[in-house]
């Protein structure tokens, strides 16, 4: 054992020397390129074959009934050289991929489907189908390996790479390619985390109290069980998450599910770890008195709190960076896998991996004079109600308010109803699409009758230029309709007429009932940015939330013990996350008149607390960047800036100020005499 | 301002300092410090003594700003103790070493050095020197959580010195240390004092304080019971102690007769001189180290770090090194203060010796060359080991090398009394 230890020490010294680093670098390059060579060669072959297929498919005209067209339509086959590719699956896809002129659209998707059976079974389809991705992967691995070697993590690199690599190879041996990817992913993620932490630690190496405290907090996070457990959980579960998604489900669903679960996991783990680490690093230092030796140095209490916060945020930055990289890499990998349905692939590109802006329809509003008239009319036309008001049994003001609410609701519902056999036009204003946009998407979600999800109902959409399209919709389910962008007028307005009608090919028939929808039931969506930029903004919003949680934990622990600080911090966190739900509940909360008075006061108190919490913390829960990512909706720079200012600076600063006000007067030494 | 007063400017001033601890309802629960007045001057080693619960640690924590005073005035370097700028001039070792278990010694010292804004090159140099000084260089990369109490204490001392403080506050610095470590700490404190540091030493180990402090305060129940130098507090003007090599019983009897005749007093006690256990222990360790015996514990520390008190009188530095070197060689030498004290006492006692020995004594000086010195008169021990009559087994050992008797002392009587050669092997350091 002693001999092994001394050899290990010698190797460690060698690995940290300049010569050792150079040797290990060369070895790493050789190993990585050597292992990646079969994948690269397979990718080159696949790319060449796909190019040939794309070239052949692009000249096929299905209307001409050429031999190639007939082979494609009748058997789903394409001949390249001496080989025939395709089969029944391609045959089912081809009719849906032709435009009005008989030309094939989505040739690239079709080519990928044709190439996929030729790929080696051991190669991940998403990688081998893209040479660029293969090269990017090799470059990423080389960067990771060389970064680890030159930042003193050579031993970690060797141990982790050996363990995960061996496990991956064994998984491939047993035919479990997804599991192999997951196991190798765990190793890559762990090394990436260590590397990022090392880089951030180097940035905090300056000789100042704030940086020194921050760097020590980072060390604490890596060496204390409480935080290592969370970080380890994230690094292990995140790469395994794809195994929980059904690979047979639509590609769009797989990607959306992974984004939702992955981002949710990263934020949840980071949040809980942030609160626990923030509370423990301060509370335990006070309990164990390390703070005595610290604050008898030239360190102010504000510097102490800032240093703790900065260290925790450095750890969070590492977690977000590594987690985000893992999610983006895997999403890109998924997006390149051949979709069973080309429409599915198109939906992924145009509705998920994109940043879209939404515009709701404009509805007519009830004029105040008309509303007053309607309310008066309602009272006059109801003798019982009128008598109760005159006798004092009902309060006139409250009755008028209630009637006004009902009239407004009814008017609004009427605006959003299309009776059977009729049509209504809706205008979307300020649809400012970027130049070069070819189409926008109409998202619609209708209700009809009992909202039976097993039934389909007809609807026709007519546009300003007179063109129309008939569709079938399922109640309550979200549907989409692509609309040419040229239908948007010069003012940025788009008008769509919704008609409760069907078309049987010859005649128009009335719909099966009145179509109704919610205020956000119809919406125009259009791309304003890329998924990558949107993802970065989403992570930015998450970071500002974590910044607040970190300072909340630090400030709580400066005044309270660990347990009480955790209780307070977690209570605020949960209240903030649930603020939208609490707001909804408060709006609908009614105190029954027959409840005993004492209980009424209690209920009133509860309502007051709930109202206060959602009013104070509403912005935290209302900002849901992950939901936006999953729906392919844009998170604007304005939203990011607002989150940064309000939550990142405002709330965080408030927590710092409140904590400092209490902390600066706190006596840190404990009386240990006899009272 | 005169040179002496400039040298002795107060670092800490407390006037009517009081600390009350309150409960949650702001009711006074206990008065830990009750209206104390004291001053710690520059360059002195100030002792804060008292039993447990006397208010020592509370006083220190108020000086450091960890507690707020309830009443009275307290200033450190002329400023409020809570002033952050003052803390760059202070080093503090608490009663327990509250270190981060997940850091190693090098990381710990680097961390604290960064808090003072020290640049990288300075940090590295000081960390290396301090680790060597406290004997932890071979465990520099081991986590503090694996340390023994003594090793943690050494590291605690190192972190207190990382900023080369002007004012060093040590609360029970020898707690948890073995005798070797205790001795080294005391030597270090003396050396630091000689280099111009002001030191506040709090301890309930009286011997430690007595050995190193120039002035001290004794607390009990939050109040000062006594204050002054060791000489002022401990001098016993009622007794004289003469230390001699081993004497025969008959000689002792002659001495007794002489004292009765000349002074009309009787010798109160004659007892065999004993080596202090610390001295014996240190001698043993030095011997083992000379034999290069293996140990898995902390190594014996090295020299005092160069950066500590740099720029002070090199003579004093040389004296300090010489002292440490002497220690390593196992030679006997008094601590400088003790030498000073002994010299002062020796001068005072020369007249007595002259009287004792008598101006007309003409016996030739003994061939014994071991000089005898007169120890300062100390207060009689609370439970003196007295003997009714000197016995044949009574021995006295010669005092360690140190102040030699003055030239004007007639040693003829003493030499006459001294029959045997002094036993060199039993020569010890006081």
Percent of chain B with pLDDT over 90: 28
pLDDT score of A640: 93
> In B, which residues are within 8 Å of A292 by CB distance?
64, 66, 92, 94, 98
Which of B20, B113, B115 to mutate to probe the A interface, most A CBs <10 Å?
Answer: B115
* Residues of chain A contacting B115 with CB distance shorter than 8 Å: 209, 212-213, 294, 297-299
Q: Is B58 on the interface with A (CB under 8 A)?
A: yes
Q: Cα separation of B136 and B298, whole Å?
A: 6
Task: Specify the pLDDT at position B401.
Answer: 26
Kindly report, residue by residue over A357-381, the tens digit of the pLDDT: 999 999 888 888 999 999 999 899 9
| Spatial distance between the Cα atoms of B309 and B314, rounded to a whole number of angstroms | 10
Q: Which segment of A377-381, A414-418, B99-103, B291-295 scores lowest on mean pLDDT?
A: B291-295
Q: Could you tell me which residue, A546 or A68, shows the higher pLDDT? A: A546
Mean pLDDT across A513-532: 91
Q: Over 70: is that where the pLDDT of B335 sits?
A: no
- Look at residue B417 and tell me whether its pLDDT is greater than 60: no
Least confident of A340-354, B292-306, B322-336: B322-336
pLDDT at B246 over 90: no
pLDDT reported for residue B106: 93
Measured CA to CA, the distance from residue A102 to residue B235 in angstroms comes to 118
Question: For B183-241, what is each residue's pLDDT tens digit?
Answer: 888 888 888 888 889 999 998 777 778 778 888 898 888 898 888 887 777 777 777 78
Q: What is the DSSP letter of A119?
A: S
**pLDDT classification of A521: cutoffs 50, 70, 90:** very high
Query: pLDDT band for position A330 (50/70/90)?
Result: confident
Q: How far is CA A657 from CA A245, A301, A617, A649, A663, in A?
A: 45, 11, 17, 11, 10
Q: Which residue of B has its CA nearest to A665?
A: B68
Residue A272 is encoded by which pair of tokens?
């809980």
Per residue in A126-157, pLDDT tens?
Answer: 778 888 888 988 998 899 999 999 988 888 88
User: What SS3 string covers A561-575?
Assistant: CHHHHHHHHHHHHHH
Residue A658, Cβ density class (10 Å: 0-12 exposed, 13-18 middle, ≥19 buried): middle
The Cα–Cα gap between A316 and A569 comes to 17
B102 and A673 within 8 Å at the Cβ level: the answer is no
Which of A209, A293, A674 lies closest to B98 in CB terms?
Answer: A293
Report domain extents, chain B: 3-238+277-324, 336-418
CA atoms within 13 A on the CB side of A249: 13
Residues 6+ apart with CB under 8 A from A58: A104, A107
Buried b (16+ CB within 10 A) or exposed e, A242-277: beebeeeebbbebbbbbbebbbebbbebbbebbbbb
Average pLDDT estimate for A95-118: 77
For the beta carbon of residue B261, count every other beta carbon within 10 angstroms: 8
Residue of A224, A668, A674 lying closest to B66 (CB–CB): A668
Nearest to B102 among A220, A296, A673 (CB): A220
First to last CA, chain A: 54
Q: Compute the mean pLDDT over every residue in chain A, rounded to the nearest whole number.
A: 88
Residue B328 pLDDT class (50, 70, 90 cuts): very low
- Report which of residues A568 and A438 the model is more confident about: A568
Most confident option among A85-99, A514-528, B210-224, B344-358:
A514-528
- pLDDT value, residue B322: 52
A668 contact B CB<8A: yes
Sign of CA dihedral A501, A504, A505, A506: negative
The residue among B371, B378, B368, B417 whose CA lies nearest residue B398 is B371
- CB neighbours of residue A310 within 10 Å: 18
Tell me the average pLDDT across A45-50: 90
Nearest residue of chain A to residue B117 (CA atoms): A207
Per CATH, the homologous superfamily of domain B3-238+277-324 is: P-loop containing nucleotide triphosphate hydrolases (3.40.50.300)
Residues present in chain A in total = 675
Residue A284: the pLDDT is 93
- Percent helix, strand, coil in chain A, to 5, is 65, 10, 25
**Under 8 Å CB-to-CB from B427, ≥6 apart: which residues?**
B332, B370, B397, B398, B400, B401
Quick check: B426 pLDDT over 60?
A: no
B46 — phi, psi (to 5°)? Answer: -105, 125
B141 interfacial to chain A (CB closer than 8 Å) = no
Q: Which residue of chain A is at minimal alpha-carbon distance from B119?
A: A207
pLDDT mean over B336-348:
39
Cα of B118 to nearest chain A Cα, Å: 6
Mean pLDDT to the nearest integer, B347-371: 41
Of the listed ranges A25-34, A590-599, A615-624, B44-53, the one predicted with least confidence: A590-599
> How far apart are the C-alpha atoms of B271 and A200, rounded to whole Å?
70
Round to whole Å and give the CA distance between B204 and B386.
27
The distance of Cα B155 from the centroid of its chain, to the nearest Å, equals: 20
Q: Which of A104-113, B35-44, B192-201, B210-219 has the lowest mean pLDDT?
A: A104-113
Q: Does B280 touch chain A (CB under 8 A)?
A: no
Q: Which tops the pLDDT comparison, B422 or B13?
A: B13
Q: What is the pLDDT of residues A481-496, one digit of tens each?
A: 888 888 998 888 999 9
- What tokens appear for A529 in the block? 């940015």
In chain B, % of residues over pLDDT 70:
67
0.90 surpassed by pTM: no
3-state secondary structure of B175: coil
**Residue pLDDT, tens place only, B286-308:** 887 787 665 555 555 667 787 88
Q: Report yes or no: B276 at the A interface, CB cutoff 8 Å.
A: no
Question: What is the 3-class SS of A231-277, one letter each residue?
Answer: HHHHHHHHHHHHHHCCCCCCHHHHHHHHHHHHHHHHHHHHHHHHHHH
Interface ipTM above 0.90? no
Say whether pLDDT at B163 is over 90: yes
**Which band of pLDDT confidence, cut at 50, 70 and 90, is reported for residue B159?**
very high
Least confident of A367-376, A450-459, B201-210, B332-341: B332-341
Q: How confident is the model over A380-408, as pLDDT tens digits?
A: 998 998 898 888 888 888 889 888 988 88
From the number of C-beta atoms within 10 Å of its C-beta (0-12, 13-18, 19+), residue A647 rates as: buried
Q: What is the pLDDT of residue B373?
A: 32
- The H helix count followed by the E strand count for chain B is 13, 9
What is the percent of chain A where pLDDT is above 90?
42
Q: Which two tokens stand for residue A154?
A: 């050579």
Averaged over B11-20, what is the pLDDT?
93
* Nearest CB partner across the interface for B99, out of A290, A668, A669: A290
How many Å apart are CA B400 and CA B370, to the nearest integer?
Answer: 9
Q: Mapping DSSP to helix (H, G, I), strand (E, B) and coil, where does residue A543 land? A: helix
Q: Is the pLDDT of residue B367 over 50?
A: no
CA A525 to chain centre: 18
Residues 6+ apart with CB under 8 A from B94: A289, A292, A293, B156, B171
End-to-end CA distance of chain B: 39
Shortest alpha-carbon distance between residue A325 and chain B (Å) = 30
Judge: A297–B100 Cβ closer than 8 Å, yes or no: no
Mutation site, A293, A301, A665, interface B, largest B CB count within 10 A:
A293
Average pLDDT of the residues in A104-126? 80
């Amino acid at each position: 054992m002693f001999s092994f230890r001394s050899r290990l020490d010698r190797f460690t010294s060698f690995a940290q020397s300049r010569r050792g680093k150079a040797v290990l670098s060369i070895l790493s390059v050789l190993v990585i390129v050597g292992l990646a060579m079969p994948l690269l060669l397979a990718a080159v072959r696949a790319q060449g074959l796909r190019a040939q297929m794309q070239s052949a498919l692009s000249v096929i005209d299905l209307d001409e009934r050429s031999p190639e067209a007939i082979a494609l339509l009748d058997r789903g086959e394409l001949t390249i050289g001496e080989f025939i590719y395709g089969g029944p699956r391609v045959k089912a896809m081809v009719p849906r991929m032709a435009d009005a002129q008989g030309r094939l659209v989505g040739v690239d998707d079709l080519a990928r489907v044709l190439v996929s059976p030729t790929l080696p079974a051991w190669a991940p389809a998403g990688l081998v189908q893209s040479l660029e991705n293969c090269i990017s992967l090799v470059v990423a691995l080389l960067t990771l390996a060389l970064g680890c070697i030159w930042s003193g993590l050579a031993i970690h690199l060797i141990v982790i790479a050996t363990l995960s690599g061996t496990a991956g190879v064994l998984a491939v041996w047993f035919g479990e390619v997804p599991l192999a990817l997951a196991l190798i992913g765990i190793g890559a993620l762990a090394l990436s985390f260590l590397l990022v932490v090392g880089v951030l630690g180097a940035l905090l190496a300056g000789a100042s109290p704030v940086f020194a405290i921050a760097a020590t907090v980072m060390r604490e996070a890596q060496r204390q069980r409480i935080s290592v457990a969370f970080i380890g959980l994230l690094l292990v579960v995140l790469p395994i998450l794809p195994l929980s998604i059904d690979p047979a489900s639509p590609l769009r669903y797989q990607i959306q599910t992974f984004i939702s679960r992955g981002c949710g996991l990263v934020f949840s783990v980071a949040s809980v770890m942030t609160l626990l680490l923030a509370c423990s690093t301060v509370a335990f230092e006070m309990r164990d008195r390390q703070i005595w030796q610290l604050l008898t140095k030239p360190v102010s209490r504000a510097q102490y709190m800032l240093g703790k916060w900065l260290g925790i945020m450095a750890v969070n930055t590492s977690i977000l960076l590594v987690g985000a990289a893992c999610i983006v890499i895997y999403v890109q990998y998924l997006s390149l896998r051949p979709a069973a349905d080309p429409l599915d692939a198109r939906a992924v590109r145009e509705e998920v991996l994109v940043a879209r802006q939404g515009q709701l329809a404009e509805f007519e509003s009830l004029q105040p004079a008309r509303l007053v008239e309607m309310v008066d009319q309602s009272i006059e036309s109801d003798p019982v109600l009128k008598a109760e008001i005159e006798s004092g049994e009902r309060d006139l003001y409250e009755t008028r308010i209630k009637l006004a609410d009902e009239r407004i609701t009814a008017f609004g519902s009427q605006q959003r109803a299309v009776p059977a056999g009729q049509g209504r036009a809706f205008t979307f204003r300020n649809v400012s699409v970027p130049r070069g946009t070819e189409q926008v998407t109409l998202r619609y979600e209708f209700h009809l009758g009992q909202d039976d999800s097993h039934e389909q109902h007809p609807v026709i959409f007519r546009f300003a230029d007179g063109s129309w399209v008939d569709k079938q919709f399922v109640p309550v389910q979200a549907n989409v309709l692509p609309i040419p962008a040229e239908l948007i007028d010069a003012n940025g307005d788009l008008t769509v007429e919704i008609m409760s009608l069907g078309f049987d090919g010859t005649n128009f028939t009335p719909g099966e009932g009145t179509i109704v929808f919610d205020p956000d039931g119809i919406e125009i969506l259009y791309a304003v940015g890329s998924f990558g930029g949107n993802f970065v903004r989403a992570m930015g919003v998450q970071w500002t939330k974590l910044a607040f949680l970190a300072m909340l934990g630090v400030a709580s622990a400066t005044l309270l013990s660990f347990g009480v600080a955790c209780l307070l911090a977690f209570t605020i966190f949960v209240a903030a996350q649930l603020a939208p739900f609490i707001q909804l509940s408060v709006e609908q909360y009614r105190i029954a008149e027959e409840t005993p008075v004492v209980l009424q006061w209690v209920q009133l108190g509860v309502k007051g607390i709930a109202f206060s919490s959602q009013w104070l913390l509403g912005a935290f829960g209302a900002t849901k960047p992950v939901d936006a990512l999953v729906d392919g909706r844009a998170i604007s720079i304005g939203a990011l800036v607002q989150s940064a200012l309000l939550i990142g600076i405002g709330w965080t600063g408030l927590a710092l100020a409140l904590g400092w006000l209490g902390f600066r007067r706190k006596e840190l030494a404990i009386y240990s005499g006899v009272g | 301002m005169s040179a002496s007063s400039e040298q002795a400017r107060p670092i800490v001033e407390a006037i009517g300092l009081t600390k009350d601890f309150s409960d949650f309802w702001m009711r006074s629960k206990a008065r830990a410090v009750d209206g104390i007045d004291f001053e710690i001057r520059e360059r002195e080693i100030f002792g804060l003594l008292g039993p447990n619960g006397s208010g020592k640690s509370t006083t220190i924590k108020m000086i450091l700003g960890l507690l707020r005073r309830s009443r009275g005035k307290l200033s450190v370097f002329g400023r409020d103790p809570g002033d952050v700028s003052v803390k760059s001039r202070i080093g503090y070792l608490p009663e327990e070493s509250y270190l981060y278990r997940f850091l190693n010694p090098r990381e710990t010292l680097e961390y604290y050095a960064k808090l003072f804004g020290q640049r990288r090159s300075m940090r590295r140099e000081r960390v290396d020197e301090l680790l060597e000084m406290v004997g932890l260089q071979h465990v520099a990369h081991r986590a503090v959580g694996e340390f023994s109490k003594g090793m943690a204490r050494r590291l605690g001392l190192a972190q207190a010195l990382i900023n080369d403080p002007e004012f060093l506050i040590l609360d029970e610095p020898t707690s948890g240390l073995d005798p070797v470590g205790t001795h080294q700490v005391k030597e270090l404190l003396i050396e630091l004092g000689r280099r111009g540091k002001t030191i506040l030493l709090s301890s309930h180990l009286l011997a430690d304080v007595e050995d190193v402090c120039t002035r001290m305060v004794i607390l009990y129940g939050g109040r000062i019971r006594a204050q002054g130098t060791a000489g002022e507090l401990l001098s016993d003007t009622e007794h004289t102690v003469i230390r001699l090599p081993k004497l025969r019983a008959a000689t002792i009897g002659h001495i007794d007769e002489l004292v009765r005749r000349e002074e009309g007093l009787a010798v109160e006690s004659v007892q065999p001189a004993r080596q202090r256990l610390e001295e014996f222990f240190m001698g043993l360790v030095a011997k083992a180290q000379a034999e290069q015996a293996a140990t898995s514990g902390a190594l014996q520390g090295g020299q005092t770090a160069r950066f500590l008190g740099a720029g002070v009188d090199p003579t004093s530095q040389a004296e300090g090194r010489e002292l440490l070197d002497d220690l390593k060689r196992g030679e006997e030498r008094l601590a400088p203060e003790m030498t000073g004290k002994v010299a002062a006492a020796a001068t005072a006692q020369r007249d007595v010796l002259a009287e004792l020995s008598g101006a007309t004594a003409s016996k030739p000086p003994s061939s014994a060359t071991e000089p005898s010195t007169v120890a300062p008169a100390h207060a009689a021990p609370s439970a003196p080991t007295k003997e009714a009559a000197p016995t044949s087994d009574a021995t006295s050992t010669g005092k360690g090398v140190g102040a030699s008797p003055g030239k004007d002392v007639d040693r003829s009587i003493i030499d006459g009394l001294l029959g045997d050669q002094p036993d060199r092997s039993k020569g010890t350091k006081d």
